[in-house]
Amino acid sequence: MKKEELKAQLYDEIAKCNRCGFCLAVCPVYAAVGKEWATPRGKNALIRAIIEGKIDWTPEIEESLYRCTGCRLCTQTCFPAVETNQGVLAGRECLVEKRLYPQVIDRVVEAIENNFNISNEPNINRTMWMETMEGVPENRFQKEKAEVIYFTGCVASFYPMAHKIPQNLVRIFHRAHVDFTLLGGEEWCCGFPLIQAGMKEKMKTLKEHNEKMVQKVGAKTIVFACPSCYHTWREMYQTDAEPLHSTQFIERLIAEGKIIFQDGRERIVTYHDPCDLGRNSKVFDPPRNILKKIPGVKLVELENNRQLSMCCGGGGDLEMIDPDLSSAIAKRKIEEIQKTGAEEVVTACQQCIRTISGYARKNKIKLKVRDITEVVLEAMSA
Amino acid sequence: MNRDQMIEELSKIVGKENVLFSETDLLLYGYDASLFKAKPDCIVLPNSTEEVSQIVKFAHREKIPIVARGSGTNLSGGTIPARGGIVIHFSRMNRVLEIDIKNQRAVVEPGVFTLTLKNQLARYGYVYQPDPASERVSTFGGNFGENSGGPHCLKYGVTTNHVLGAEIVLPDGEIIWVGGKALDHPGYDLTGLLVGSEGTLGIATKLVLRIVPKPEAVKTMLAIYNSLEDAGRTVSAIIAEGIVPATLEMLDRLTIKAVEESIHAGFPLDAEAVLLIEIDGLKDGMERLAERIIEICKENRAREVKAARTEEERAQLWAGRKGAFGAVARLRPNYLVCDGTVPRTKLPEVLTRVMEVGKKYNLPIANVFHAGDGNLHPLILFDERNEEELKKVHLAGSEILKICAEAGGTISGEHGIGTEKKKEMFFVFTPKDISAMRKVKRAFDPEDLFNPGKVLPEVQT
Ligand SMILES: Cc1cc2nc3c(=O)[nH]c(=O)nc-3n(C[C@H](O)[C@H](O)[C@H](O)COP(=O)(O)OP(=O)(O)OC[C@H]3O[C@@H](n4cnc5c(N)ncnc54)[C@H](O)[C@@H]3O)c2cc1C
């Protein structure tokens, strides 16, 4: 993106920032870093200075703009609601044009361009998560026509730590007699990592391909377990199929009597709102309603919940760009979880699970971190 | 000394990663919440009193200016490095050191957010009373520097009434203690002198604060008016009756509109003004007092008086009040907050004159303020990008302060003088008064290194 375009798109938005600094109190990056470049106020000031020609792109601006989790808690708590993350993402687009961006990004972009996914695996292996699963049907959950498409997402497809999510979700679908299919090797990355990288224009082919595939299946509904795929779809895609997050879909299945819970263990559970699901897509109640229906589960809220939920540290490609920073943010999240006294934290995002449990494991903190699909399946089988 | 040497010396004290000096960082530490800008030479982030002392000793030796900075939310240019030099950012010194419930004291480092301490105190049923609208992000160092106030200061006093002592680094780098945990100290009241000195006399590295048990009961009421004057008269009438509510805040029509667009606080859009009245204390007698206040509101033609029924409703009303400044940016991108204080009885008259200033310069003015204290905050709305408007805004702001001074009031209730209001100091002080203050500054800081160019205007001799 060119400076002129940045100005046309964002000058009025960013001009609303009066530098009151209220965002300093909530920004997870500032809490970890403690320097003005980390603050949303600072990011707005930098974009503004660029637009006004007071400064040119610098490596420090790159460092600043690529350290934002996109959690948007700043905007949520900003009285004029300045959309700082929009400025950050547009700023990244400008930086990309100047070839000023973290080099790790090239690896992901290359992977997406070559394999249509973020890993080094060929896309035909998108169903590799079935390898460790029993009772996989011959069609590997793929058919030509279906009511529902389950869009697996790159992380759940290719990273073993997250394989449980698709495994559990297809089992839930199977038991609830959902007429569904996967796109398998025809599912391409949704484009979220490219938007975060500042290379939005590169997602065009991905989007067109995915839209075409969905059209072909003729599905009414498309289900995502990944909040970022879901959010990207809602914001950027146009299809006839209704996009739903897995929690919304499961809530419907419960209401239709297709999911019935047996008795469960008595336990205290807390729920972490993933930023892209909660604040950014406004899905707050379905996961809570599901948990409340599970026998034995007592749900206690985190101190900061729903619109005010604190990021886990894994948002906006941050874990890839700056793992130490991501982990410092996760630390605060874990402290907040521990304060509830819950023995188990449930969430609905593979990235949140990865950041939270990754930190807990490295630091030998005993904490059960689970995706809601796992909890649902367990309660169905109990 | 050249900059590279300076950076090297400072890095020896705080570590390389805690010294910032890139073009980008200089820009980022060149603003605060005011309309002023200037660049420092570098920024340091110390982690202890000892480090602060060493930084200051170094700067003193080399005659480099020092500006202390908390969250940079002050509205008067208090953290603008007017003469360059070193900015000390206190974000790493953010520990609550002690909560001593038995003696009703807390000890904090200067970088602690005001609300962070309050949240910790809530667990004990205790409070720190001063409540600037910016409390969720303002630091104790900043509160100390500006002698900050807030709605509840009507009853409980401003920051200076709650800071009992402090560890101070003087402009030559020496570390001293002023005041302490005891209520009264012999000798000169240096704590009183330092609070509100805007970083020009000493830098606080630890603060001893007074904390008190939470009042047994609170009642929050919203009185709604069809005229600003009636709301103003109510304020005087309540106080004249000998009632001291915990808060008496006023919001006018334009502010209400902005707040309601931002969050739904429950202020009626068709009202000319609302008063946010809170009483607190013992449960006994509270209902009677509330009834009397409602009567007074009605006698002064309040259209309706509502009481918050739940803690959520109360929180919502206050969220509206605390976000009012930010919210007006929905109407025009920028605002200048004027901070004049007038005798309460002059409120209606001064408000009318303030609105005339707005008309004269063709600038919208929104009013939200600590009515009980007579502390006005006219918010002049404009677009900073429009230079013509920016000029008019400064003139209008100055004129409003003149009106306050002429009405027997003063030019700052709580936001400080900084760089913004130096020349307006002459509205309320004679050159002799200023010279007396200058003597104090010289006694502490003969080389004029701590936040130079702030607070005191030059006096022609
Ligand atoms: C939206 C908004 C609402 C506000 N509402 C109120 C309000 O209701 N009441 C009110 O009083 N103010 C209010 N303010 C002004 C401001 O928030 C307060 O003055 C606050 O106390 C400043 O805190 P800070 O940490 O941002 O200090 P900074 O702005 O960083 O510094 C303020 C001053 O203190 C000095 N200082 C900082 N640290 C130290 C230290 N350790 N030792 C000595 N001096 C130091 C600085 O040099 C500077 O002169 C508001 C501001 C905004 C933007």
Radius of gyration, alpha carbons of chain B = 22
- The angle that helices A372-381 and A246-255 make with each other, rounded to 10 degrees, is 30
Q: In whole angstroms, what is the distance from residue B171 CA to residue B194 CA?
A: 13
Please indicate, yes or no, if residue B413 is contained in any of the structural domains.
Answer: no
Q: Are residues B337 and B302 in the same domain?
A: no
Residues in A closer than 8 angstroms to B323, CB to CB, are 79
A249 token code pair: 């879909």
Q: Does B27 touch chain A (CB under 8 A)?
A: yes
- The angle that helices A84-97 and A3-15 make with each other, rounded to 10 degrees, is 160
What's the pLDDT at B413? 87
What's the pLDDT at B264? 87
Q: Are residues A283 and A215 in the same domain?
A: no
What's the pLDDT at A269? 97
Q: Does B385 touch chain A (CB under 8 A)?
A: yes
Q: Are residues B55 and B104 in the same domain?
A: no
CATH number of the domain within which A153 lies: 3.40.50
Please indicate, yes or no, if residue B438 is contained in any of the structural domains.
Answer: no
DSSP state letters, B199-224:
TSS-EEEEEEEE-EEPPSEEEEEEEE
Q: Are residues A279 and A369 in the same domain?
A: yes
Which amino acid makes up residue A34? Answer: G
Pick from A69, A97, A125: which residue ends a domain? Answer: A97
Question: How many residues in chain B?
Answer: 461
Q: Are residues B223 and B201 in the same domain?
A: no
Residue B223 has pLDDT above 90, yes or no: yes
What's the pLDDT at A217? 96
Cα→Cα distances B279→A344, B130, B388, Å? 42, 15, 44
B149 token code pair: 């106030």
How many structural domains are present in chain A?
Answer: 3
CA-nearest residue for atom 32, ligand 1, is B142
Q: Are residues B136 and B198 in the same domain?
A: yes
Q: Are residues A170 and A192 in the same domain?
A: yes
Q: Are residues A239 and A217 in the same domain?
A: yes
Q: Are residues B143 and B188 in the same domain?
A: yes
Ligand 1 centroid – CA B145 distance (Å): 7
Residues of chain A with pLDDT under 50: none
A332 token code pair: 């605060």
What are the residues whose beta carbons fall under 8 Å from the beta carbon of A29, sequence distance 6 or more? A38, A39, A67, A68, A69, A325, A329
Q: Is A77 in contact with A308 (CB distance < 8 Å)?
A: yes
Residues in B closer than 8 angstroms to A23, CB to CB, are 137
Please indicate, yes or no, if residue B247 is contained in any of the structural domains.
Answer: yes
Residues in B closer than 8 angstroms to A308, CB to CB, are none
Pick from B213, B241, B260: which residue ends a domain? Answer: B213
Which amino acid makes up residue A61? Answer: I
What are the residues whose beta carbons fall under 8 Å from the beta carbon of B433, sequence distance 6 or more? none
Q: In whole angstroms, what is the distance from residue B412 CA to residue A195 CA?
A: 47
CA-nearest residue for atom 24, ligand 1, is B142
The partner residue sitting opposite A24, judged by closest CB among B22, B137, B262, is B137
Please indicate, yes or no, if residue B244 is contained in any of the structural domains.
Answer: yes
Q: Are residues B194 and B128 in the same domain?
A: yes
A173 token code pair: 């679908």
What's the pLDDT at B461? 65
CATH number of the domain within which B348 lies: 3.30.70.2740
Residues 357-376 of A with CB under 8 A from B: none
Q: What is the pLDDT of residues B16-27, one digit of tens each?
A: 999 999 999 999
- Give the alpha-carbon dihedral of B339, B343, B346, B350, to 10 degrees: -20
Q: Are residues A166 and A293 in the same domain?
A: no
3-class DSSP state for residue B92?
A: coil
User: With a 6 A CB cut-off, is B152 part of the ligand 1 pocket?
Assistant: no
Q: Are residues A27 and A58 in the same domain?
A: yes
CATH number of the domain within which B311 lies: 3.30.70.2190
Q: Are residues A279 and A312 in the same domain?
A: yes
Q: Are residues A30 and A58 in the same domain?
A: yes
Q: In whole angstroms, what is the distance from residue A266 CA to residue B72 CA?
A: 49
Question: How many residues in chain A?
Answer: 382
Q: Which is the closest atom of ligand 1 to the Cα of B325?
A: 1
B19 token code pair: 């010294």
Check CB contact under 8 Å for A49 and B115: no
Q: What is the pLDDT of residues B50-80, one digit of tens each?
A: 999 999 999 999 999 999 999 999 999 999 9
Pick from B89, B115, B140: which residue ends a domain? Answer: B89
Tell me, what's the ipTM? 0.95
Q: Are residues B155 and B111 in the same domain?
A: yes
Residue for token pair 């993350």? A85
Q: Are residues B240 and B297 in the same domain?
A: yes
CATH number of the domain within which A11 lies: 1.10.1060.10
Q: Are residues A46 and A121 in the same domain?
A: no
Mutate: best of A19, A36, A64, partner B, most B CBs <10 A = A36
Q: Is A381 in contact with A356 (CB distance < 8 Å)?
A: no
CATH number of the domain within which B15 lies: 3.30.43.10
Q: Are residues A112 and A222 in the same domain?
A: yes
Please indicate, yes or no, if residue B55 is contained in any of the structural domains.
Answer: yes
Q: Tell me which residue of A346, A240, A329 sits closest to A291, measured CA to CA.
A: A346
Cα→Cα distances B223→A278, A325, B226, B245, B289, Å? 36, 48, 10, 14, 15
Residue B300 has pLDDT above 70, yes or no: yes
Residues in A closer than 8 angstroms to B117, CB to CB, are none
List the beta strands (DSSP E) in A24-124: none
Q: In whole angstroms, what is the distance from residue B356 CA to residue B335 CA?
A: 18
Q: Tell me which residue of A46, A50, A82 sits closest to A67, measured CA to CA.
A: A46
What's the pLDDT at B183? 83
User: With a 6 A CB cut-off, is B54 part of the ligand 1 pocket?
Assistant: no
Check CB contact under 8 Å for B23 and A55: yes
How many structural domains are present in chain B?
Answer: 4
How are beta strands B86-89 and B42-44 bridged, if at all?
parallel
* HSE-CB of B204 using CA atoms within 13 angstroms: 39
How many Cβ atoms sit within 10 Å of the Cβ of residue B446? Answer: 10
Residue B130 has pLDDT above 70, yes or no: yes
B303 token code pair: 């259209």
Q: In whole angstroms, what is the distance from residue B44 CA to residue B11 CA?
A: 9
- Give the alpha-carbon dihedral of B90, B95, B101, B102, to 10 degrees: -90
Q: In whole angstroms, what is the distance from residue B401 CA to residue B326 CA?
A: 22
Pick from A204, A237, A254: which residue ends a domain? Answer: A254
Question: Mean pLDDT over residues B218-244, rounded?
Answer: 94
Q: Are residues A224 and A278 in the same domain?
A: no
Ligand 1 centroid – CA B133 distance (Å): 11
The partner residue sitting opposite A79, judged by closest CB among B115, B262, B334, is B262
Residue B146 has pLDDT above 70, yes or no: yes
Q: Which is the closest atom of ligand 1 to the Cα of B413?
A: 11
What's the pLDDT at B59? 98
How are beta strands B96-100 and B105-108 bridged, if at all?
antiparallel
What are the residues whose beta carbons fall under 8 Å from the beta carbon of B46, sequence distance 6 or more? B13, B14, B18, B52, B55, B88, B90, B92, B93
User: Which range marks the domain in which residue A43 is found?
Assistant: 3-97
Check CB contact under 8 Å for B89 and A36: yes
Taking CA atoms, what residue in A is nearest to B24? A60
What are the residues whose beta carbons fall under 8 Å from the beta carbon of A91, sequence distance 6 or more? A6, A43, A46, A47, A50, A61, A65, A198
Ligand 1 centroid – CA B169 distance (Å): 19
What's the pLDDT at B113? 98
User: With a 6 A CB cut-off, is B141 part of the ligand 1 pocket?
Assistant: yes
How many Cβ atoms sit within 10 Å of the Cβ of residue B241? Answer: 12
Residue B107 has pLDDT above 70, yes or no: yes
Pick from B213, B238, B266: which residue ends a domain? Answer: B213
Tell how far CA A96 is from the center of its chain: 22
What's the pLDDT at B1? 82
User: Which range marks the domain in which residue B398 is found?
Assistant: 332-406
Q: Does B20 touch chain A (CB under 8 A)?
A: yes
The partner residue sitting opposite B25, judged by closest CB among A15, A60, A81, is A60
Q: Does A24 touch chain B (CB under 8 A)?
A: yes
What are the residues whose beta carbons fall under 8 Å from the beta carbon of B409, sequence distance 6 or more? B340, B341, B342, B343, B346, B350, B374
Q: In whole angstroms, what is the distance from residue B24 CA to residue A11 CA?
A: 19
Cα→Cα distances A379→A86, A172, A267, A300, A348, Å? 40, 11, 12, 18, 16
Q: Is B159 in contact with B143 (CB distance < 8 Å)?
A: yes
Task: State the pLDDT confidence band at B330, using cuts at 50, 70 and 90.
Answer: confident
List the beta strands (DSSP E) in B143-272: 163-169, 175-179, 203-210, 212-213, 217-225, 247-252
Q: Are residues A162 and A206 in the same domain?
A: yes
Tell how far CA B153 is from the center of its chain: 11
Q: Are residues B196 and B140 in the same domain?
A: yes
Pick from A254, A281, A302: which residue ends a domain? Answer: A254
Q: What is the pLDDT of residues B424-454, one digit of tens each?
A: 999 999 999 999 999 999 999 999 999 999 9
Which amino acid makes up residue A240? Answer: D
Which of B148, B156, B335, B450 is the pocket-test mutation for ligand 1 (most atoms within 8 Å of CB)? Answer: B148
Check CB contact under 8 Å for A34 and B335: no
